[in-house]
Amino acid sequence: MLKKILIANRGEIAVRIINTAKELGIKTVSIYSEFDKNSLFTRLSDESYYIGNSPATESYLKAESILDVAKKTGCDGIHPGYGFLSERSFFAEMCEKASVKFIGPTHQAIDFLGSKTNAKKIATIAKVPTVPGTVEPLRDFNEAIQIAKKIGYPVLIKASAGGGGKGMRVVNSEQEMESLFTMAQNESKASFGDDKIFLEKYILNPRHIEFQILADEYGNVVHLGERECSMQRRLQKVIEETPSVKINDSLRKEMGECAVKLSKEAGYSNAGTIEFIIDEYNKYYFLEMNTRLQVEHPITEMRTGLDLVKEQLRIASGEKLGYTQADIKFNGYSIECRICAEDPYNNFLPSTGKINYISRVLGNGLREDTGIQQGNEISIYYDSMIAKLISYAPEREMAIAKMKRGLENYLIDGVKTNISFLYQLLCSKEFQTGDYNTQFIEKEFLNRFNSNKNSFDNVYLESASYIDAAKNKIGKRKNGISEIINLNSSNWKNFS
């Protein structure tokens, strides 16, 4: 087993990794930026080192400095988390050359699968269905127009190196192609330093379903079931759940087998995620593979009882999986809500500031993954996620009920949050029945949410004794408060 690892990340995922390492007796080293000098993860790790200024380019993206700290502190592994350097093959390669184990796949696998077009080629070889479109980068918009004619509009222009929903444009007609093509190309160049663009059929009202896989370094691969990630806003996931209400066991089995076949074909090792979209006729298509631990991995942990970070560390230490597909047992339902510092009443504008007060009631089927503590600040430097709230229960209704309880009791003062938005999403009849697709929030829900604005805005705290403390602390400053919500208000109950 690895003995000492450096965590090349921050916030909730750094805390998440440190916790498991500690449980396994593995020593931890964290690195921090100027902004993070008082963050929770720096105190939970055994050692912590300053790496640079707050912008990520001057800290969490400084590959050489980070590797240097790992070497000087005698680490035998580096966990990249998600985001930052996690999908940069050059970093994995630097680690490999320095004999510091990169806790993830090989640099070759990251490099190859990091290109969506290459990944589609592998899928085709593995006989996994892909979205109709090109697998070679397009020369120019004229070529795009020729191909779109064959596929039929609408089409989607995508950046081969894309991620985080960047570099994508829906094109509805030939007239729009030139300008949207150029826009996508420029965005891709600016975000990923790569302007390769390809084209896919735009699937109408699709669902996003992804499969978690684990692969050891000896060719053994299992899948850990699916995650339903269709609750999206601007192509970003908002709520995830497992299992999906909308796929049956035979489809689940078929897609799970596809995920395993593709991982084997790619020579993949460690934890990874195969993303699919499913059209209105339940036809599924491979989208891309994420070669890292995913934000929403906890719901899979709740349902399988496996600790994914532990499995990553075991695999990276050269251990065999030690189980087969038949050994993986699935139990219950799990939901994750991403609690973000943003203002749902103002176009989700990121909200920054100091968290003066935070209180939540967890336990009995409610887990929270966070790197935040009272007194911490939310800044412009990093993404706006404050915490992930994860519920787990034998039945879906109870998993929803637990999540609602968690959100009702989640009180924050200092920044605006999307808690009321998440709560109302959970209450919608579409979520209740599981009948939603990636377009639901933008095409339907946002109107509903905005037209109910007044009944939910700034409702005041009352009742339960455990929030009395909150009342005393922040209730007095009623007029200056940025957000205090009492989701227990009867207004909420009628919302669907």
Could you list the residues that contact ligand ADP (CB under 6 A)?
A: 82-83, 131, 156, 162-165, 200, 202-203, 206, 208, 232, 235-237, 275, 277, 287-288, 290, 294-296, 383, 438
Site string for Mg ion, 230-269 (x = CB under 5 A): ----------------------------------------
- How, if at all, do strands 77-79 and 197-201 pair? unpaired
Q: Between residues 275 and 336, which has the closer beta carbon with respect to Mg ion?
A: 275
CB of 459 to Mg ion, least distance (A): 36
Using N-to-C axis directions, what is the helix angle for 174-192 and 141-151, rounded to 10°? Answer: 120
CB 313 within 8 A of CB 1: yes
CB 430 within 8 A of CB 436: yes
CB of 164 to Mg ion, least distance (A): 8
Q: Between residues 167 and 414, which has the closer beta carbon with respect to Mg ion?
A: 167
**DSSP reduced 3-state for 27:** strand
Give the other-Cβ count within 10 Å of 437's Cβ: 22
Question: Looking only at residues 133 through 152 of this chain, which bind Mg ion when binding is defined by CB under 5 A?
Answer: none
CB of 386 to ligand ADP, least distance (A): 13
Q: Between residues 184 and 313, which has the closer beta carbon with respect to ligand ADP?
A: 184
b or e along 182-197 (b: 16 or more beta carbons within 10 Å of the residue's beta carbon)? eebbebbbeebebbbb
Q: Which does 202 bind (CB under 5 to 8 A by kind): ligand ADP, Mg ion, none?
A: ligand ADP
Q: Between residues 30 and 294, which has the closer beta carbon with respect to ligand ADP?
A: 294
CB of 79 to Mg ion, least distance (A): 21
Q: Which does 14 bind (CB under 5 to 8 A by kind): ligand ADP, Mg ion, none?
A: none
Q: Between residues 151 and 362, which has the closer beta carbon with respect to ligand ADP?
A: 151
User: Near Mg ion by CB under 5 A, which window of 66-74, 272-280, 384-392, 439-447?
Assistant: 272-280
Question: Which of left, alpha, beta for 108 (phi over 0: left; psi -120 to 50: alpha)?
Answer: alpha
CB of 288 to Mg ion, least distance (A): 5
CB of 33 to ligand ADP, least distance (A): 15
Q: What is the DSSP letter of 35?
A: G
Q: Which does 13 bind (CB under 5 to 8 A by kind): Mg ion, ligand ADP, none?
A: none
Q: Between residues 116 and 404, which has the closer beta carbon with respect to Mg ion?
A: 116
169, 233, 292, 303: the active-site residue: 292
Inter-CA distances, 71 with 48, 156, 317, 346, Å: 14, 44, 17, 46
Give the end-to-end CA distance of the chain in Å, rounded to a whole number.
50
Inter-CA distances, 399 with 290, 296, 423, Å: 27, 16, 13
Active site residue 338: no
Q: Which does 89 bind (CB under 5 to 8 A by kind): Mg ion, ligand ADP, none?
A: none
Distance CA 2, CA 55 (A): 30
Q: Which does 464 bind (CB under 5 to 8 A by kind): Mg ion, ligand ADP, none?
A: none
CA-wise closest residue to 160 among 137, 187, 131, 139: 137
Give the other-Cβ count within 10 Å of 324's Cβ: 9
Q: Which does 309 bind (CB under 5 to 8 A by kind): ligand ADP, Mg ion, none?
A: none
Residues near Mg ion, by CB under 5 A: 275
Residues assigned a catalytic role: 292
